[in-house]
Structures are given as C-alpha cells and as structure tokens.
C-alpha cells in the first residue's frame, strides 16, 4: 500500500534513474498532458512530500520563460512508478494502465495508474501541497507542529485524524492501524482523550522511517510473509499479544483493524453535571 515510506522509496528510484539526465522523449496518456512533450528537458531531482511525488525539471530556455517545472503525481491506492533499462520489457502492470513514460539515454521511467498528474511551475508547488501538515519523512519534519495540528480538533477520532494529511503527511491506513495497536489506543478514541499524543506522533515517524529503503512494509520487525503486521490485514486471526480475534470495520475506503482487548473502546464522553 503506498504510504509515505513507499512514496519516499519511489522518489529515490526515480532520482537514481533520471536525476541529471536530459529526456530523450516523453509520453503522457492523460488528457490534460496529451500534447505535452518534455523532450530536451533535464530532470533536476525527484522528491516526495507526504504521499505526493515531485519530479523537478528544467525546461530548455527557448521553450518557455519559466525554467523550473514540477511533474506532480500521487499514487493513492494503486499507482506505481518503475524504472527500466532502455529496451527492457515493462512488466510492472498491464500496458493500458500506463499514464506517463519518461525516456533518457540511460533509463525509462514508466508510471502506472498515476493520479493527479500535473505539470506546474515549481514556484507554484505550494498551491498543491500547502495544505499538508509536517512530512514524517521530510528533512523539515516538525513533531511539535504535527501534535499542535492534531490537538486543534480534540473531538475527532484519532483514527480519522492520523489519516488527515493536513495534520501530518505520510500516514496511510496500514500505519494508522499498526500505530494505534502498538499504543493500545482504540481508533475511536477522540484525539483529546489520547493519553500521550507526542509519543504517538513520535512512533508514527519511527514506523515509517524504519521502512525506508525497502518495499516490504513491516511494523513487527519481521519481513516474513504473514508476519509483517500486528493487526492490519489480519481480521479474525488471533492477536499476537493476547490471542483475541482481530476485528475489522469497513467505513468506505477507511478500513480499520484493531484488537478489541488490547485497544479497548473508550468510555462515552462524560456529559458533565446535569443542569439543575
């Protein structure tokens, strides 16, 4: 599942394949970019911010007066970028899912099922990304700011708040479920009732950081198949700590897994003293 660490890894793959290279061809299979041709453009760098991918490019001077451009993409649930050697077969996904192809003399980057694909002046990146909270894997990660943003809406459940990229950028459903299990917190606990918000935020950062540089996401320390999570994807299987069957609830695309024993449901909010 593409969460902050997967996007971070993908940015490194693209950086290694294309940074510094002059593009010898491009092919965009989305209507908005159908006529865009990046031939002759130079790839400056590839970066990630939360779950957003930013491929920064330099346009050749005669093409446009704006020199620095960014090709933005988002992987959501199903997007991938792959780098291939020239001539190598593109096998990651069926060809009809290809949305972008970038060619250089040394490598070909192929983007499948990309979302929010857009080319914009680098100076305008904030227009797309300005709403994001601190990036868990960013050089400017700011845990105090993430805690401040979370705490600003104390009535929202912690499960929802962790997924809201305006609070902190990079946590998806897998890390949300695993993090709350590790902290012993029910996903339905209001943010204001979470005992140690800074500790929860710090653990979120450690979980993502631990998975940088590899594609198998693990929160248990094991990379063995079937052993990589405590609760995520384990409905009805015994909790690794207490043996209780792991529960699952589907709320649209927000699937939540939790252990009802290790993560007890919070008591209803105290309504206070009734008025006389």
Positions touching Zn ion (CB under 5 A) are 239, 241-242, 244, 259, 261-262
Closer residue to Zn ion in complex, CB, 102/262: 262
Least separation in angstroms between residue 259's CB and Zn ion is: 3
Give the residue nearest to Zn ion (CB). 239
Least separation in angstroms between residue 241's CB and Zn ion is: 5
Please tell me which residue in 3, 125, 160, 178 is annotated as part of the active site: 3
Closer residue to Zn ion in complex, CB, 104/219: 219
**Token reading at 131:** 């709403």
Closer residue to Zn ion in complex, CB, 162/262: 262
What single string gives the DSSP state of each residue in the chain? ---HHHHHHHHHHHHHHHTTPBPSEEEE-SGGGTT---TT-EEEEEEEETTEEEEEEE--TTT-S--EEEEEEE-TTT-EEEEE-TT----SS-GGGEEEEEE-SS-EEEEES-EEEEEEEGGGHHHHHTT---BTTSTT--HHHHHHHHHTSTTSBHHHHHH-TTTSBS--HHHHHHHHHHHT--TTSBGGG-TTHHHHHHHHHHHHHHTTT-SS--SSS--STT-S-SSTT-TTSBPTTT-PBPEEEEETTEEEEE-TTTSPPPPPPP--SPP-
For this structure, is 116 an active site residue?
A: no
Closer residue to Zn ion in complex, CB, 25/264: 264
Least separation in angstroms between residue 183's CB and Zn ion is: 13
Please tell me which residue in 16, 127, 212, 254 is annotated as part of the active site: 254
* Contacts for 106 with CB less than 8 Å, ≥ 6 apart: 17, 21, 85, 86
Least separation in angstroms between residue 260's CB and Zn ion is: 8
d(CA 14, CA 55): 8
For this structure, is 3 an active site residue?
A: yes
For this structure, is 103 an active site residue?
A: no
Please tell me which residue in 51, 56, 183, 234 is annotated as part of the active site: 51
Closer residue to Zn ion in complex, CB, 73/229: 229
Q: What are phi and psi of 173, to 5 degrees?
A: -65, -40
Nearest 10 degrees: Cα torsion 137, 142, 145, 149: 0
Least separation in angstroms between residue 233's CB and Zn ion is: 16
Least separation in angstroms between residue 234's CB and Zn ion is: 11
Closer residue to Zn ion in complex, CB, 42/261: 261
* Active site residue ranges: 2-3, 51, 254
């Amino acid at each position: 599942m593409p969460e902050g660490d997967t996007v971070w890894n993908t940015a490194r793959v693209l950086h290694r394949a294309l940074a510094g290279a002059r593009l010898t061809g491009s092919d965009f299979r989305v209507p908005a970019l159908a006529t865009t041709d990046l031939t002759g453009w130079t790839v400056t760098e590839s970066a990630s911010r939360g779950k957003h991918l930013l491929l920064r490019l330099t346009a050749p001077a005669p093409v446009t007066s704006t020199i620095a451009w960014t090709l933005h993409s988002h992987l959501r649930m199903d997007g991938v970028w792959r780098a291939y050697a020239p001539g190598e077969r593109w096998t990651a996904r069926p060809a009809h899912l290809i949305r972008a192809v970038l060619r250089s003399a040394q490598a070909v980057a192929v983007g499948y099922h990309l979302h929010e694909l857009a080319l914009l002046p680098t100076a305008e990146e904030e227009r797309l990304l300005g709403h994001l909270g601190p990036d868990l894997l960013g050089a400017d990660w700011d845990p105090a700011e993430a805690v401040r943003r979370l705490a600003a809406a104390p009535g929202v459940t912690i499960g929802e708040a962790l997924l809201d990229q305006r609070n902190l950028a990079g946590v998806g459903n897998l890390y949300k479920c695993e993090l709350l299990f590790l902290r012993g917190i029910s996903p339905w606990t209001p943010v204001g009732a979470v005992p140690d918000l800074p500790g929860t935020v710090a653990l979120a950062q450690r979980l993502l950081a631990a998975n940088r540089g590899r594609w198998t996401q693990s929160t248990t320390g094991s990379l063995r198949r079937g052993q990589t999570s405590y609760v995520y994807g384990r409905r009805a299987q015994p909790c690794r700590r207490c043996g209780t069957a792991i529960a699952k609830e589907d709320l649209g695309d927000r699937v939540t897994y939790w252990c009802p024993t290790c993560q007890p449901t919070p008591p209803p909010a105290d309504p206070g003293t009734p008025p006389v």
